[in-house]
Amino acid sequence: MQVETRYVCLINEYMEKSIMFNKAIILIATGFMILTFGCSKKVVKSEGVIGGEISVKQASESSESKVSAEEGFPLREKFNKVKYIDIKALNREYEKTIIVDVRSKIEFDAIHINKAFHIPVGTNLFIKNLEKVREKSGSIPIVFYCNGRTCAKSYEAAEYAMESGFLNVYTYDGGVSEWVNAYPAKATLMGKTPVPLKKLITHEMLAKRKINFAEFKKKAENPHAIVVDVREPFQRKNIPQIPQLRNIPSDRLVEMIAEGELKGNQLLILDAVGKQIEWIQYYLAQHQYTNYYFLEKGVLSAEEAGRAISADEYVIGSEDVLEILVWRNEMLSRPRIVVRPDGKISLPLIGEIPAAGFTALQLKEEIEKRLKEYQELPTVTVIVSEINSYYIYILGEIAKPGRYQLKSNISVLQAVTLAGGFTNWASPNSMVVLRRNGEKEEKIKVRYKKIISGSRPEDNIILKPGDTIIIP
């Protein structure tokens, strides 16, 4: 490892929530020596310098990066251009650094390092907000952190900052959990400092609340259950086939928990991969919620079970809730609109428009086409925020006519059995399935006797949400 010798001095004091530097610096550089006006000389032997002699390493050297990965820091090798700092070094230089929490608001509000600034990495204003904290060429180091050793957000933030011209950038990849356990007096948990370690939710406590996909889906069939997908709308590339599923982003869910809106119901919560739920549990515990469960591994478990569909493939049905956004036109946008039983929605200017039977992409294109009469090159986004249409209808000469919730893929014959079988006056061979396809309604003939005889097994079709079986 190449050793550089530097003479460093940080001028003035870092003030919490505000950083103001009044510097009078004269730099005289000779070879590897830098003199700073008004400061005593201090030799630092390190690739990175944070106010003093500390252990900051740059994982660019293959031997070190391999060792780091073996020690439980798998991201150091992947992000080998980013310098990192260990927990002891960060504590030692705690007062001489700018610490930035790049996680979501609910994660930050639940638990964070005391003096940290909250600047989420996924926002468009990330760099602009970072510039408010410190100028790009500033000497005070910026240290990013997120949840733990496998959380890439801190590295992504550091990389983004470096690419944007920021100097003296580091990551603390031990994460907030490691910090809180080591230095509870320098951390906050649900507004309390020092952190009461007994209030920390352990992996064992969280594991007791996690259930697999089959159990989660079974509980979701309870009409008193509230089933929540906390992912942001843009994250919903795949949608689990779970009854009563609705999208409530985590920030809004936390508000509802605090306001007591969900008390008295069983809460079933899922996220992308089972990571975000840990922080939601703190809010549930604080407000004395006891009847709740999380989907283990989140939507990933639904995908593994083959029970998730692409958002671009999902066919909208009646009672589904949509979010329709028209770029640069709030008057035409609708943050929440319910598909009516007739399969239509109403929008400004264009009036009624069919939604049931379309995918989100098809509906987007249809709305854009109709808006072209009133607006040049309209850009529309359609998001299915709540799925309420996993139902079929069985009507006519059947023992128990009505609406039935789809629990899995079922055929026509299975649906007939589910509804108690034919009445004595039924004409099963004249049975039809009505299926909406966009603006058109398709009529599919089902020859019951030929299905039974085996001559036309293809007539025993797999039903789709919104299908109606009519038995004369």
pLDDT for 409: 67
pLDDT in tens, 383-421: 887 777 778 889 999 999 998 876 566 788 888 988 999
Where residue 360 falls among pLDDT bands split at 50, 70, 90?
A: confident
- C-alpha span between 395 and 193 (Å, rounded): 62
pLDDT (0 to 100) of residue 439: 67
Mean pLDDT of 358-386: 88
Pairing between β-strand 27-30 and β-strand 33-36 as defined by DSSP bridges:
antiparallel
pTM of the model: 0.61
pLDDT of 198-233, one tens digit each? 999 988 999 999 999 999 988 988 878 999 999 877
Q: Name the pLDDT band for 42 (thresholds 50, 70, 90).
A: very low
Per-residue model confidence (pLDDT) at position 15 = 35
Predicted pLDDT at 276: 82
Which among 404, 390, 387, 359 has a CA at the least distance from the CA of 245? 387
pLDDT at 37 over 80: no
Residue in 50, 85, 65 with CA at minimum distance from that of residue 179: 85
pLDDT for position 449: 85
Q: What is the dihedral sign for C-alpha 364, 369, 373, 376? A: positive
More confident residue, 152 or 66: 152
Residue with tokens 């003093």: 52
pLDDT in tens, 101-134: 999 899 999 999 999 999 998 777 899 999 999 9
Contacts of 443 (CB under 8 A, 6+ apart): 432, 433, 434
Q: Which two tokens mark 124?
A: 């468009």
Token pair for 420? 């108690």
pLDDT at 316 over 60: yes
List the Cα angle 298/301/305 in 5-degree steps: 150
What is the largest distance, in Å, between two alpha-carbon atoms of the chain? 103
DSSP 3-state of 156: helix
- Alpha-carbon gap, residue 321 to 317, rounded angstroms: 9
Other residues' Cβ atoms within 10 Å of the Cβ of residue 321: 18
pLDDT in tens, 247-291: 888 888 999 999 988 888 899 999 988 888 888 999 999 999 999
Distance between CA atoms of residues 274 and 294, nearest Å: 8
Instruction: Tell me the domains of the chain and their CATH numbers.
Output: 50-197 (3.40.250.10), 210-304 (3.40.250.10), 321-386 (3.30.1950.10), 391-471 (3.10.560.10)
Q: How many angstroms separate the CA atoms of 135 and 25, rounded? A: 16
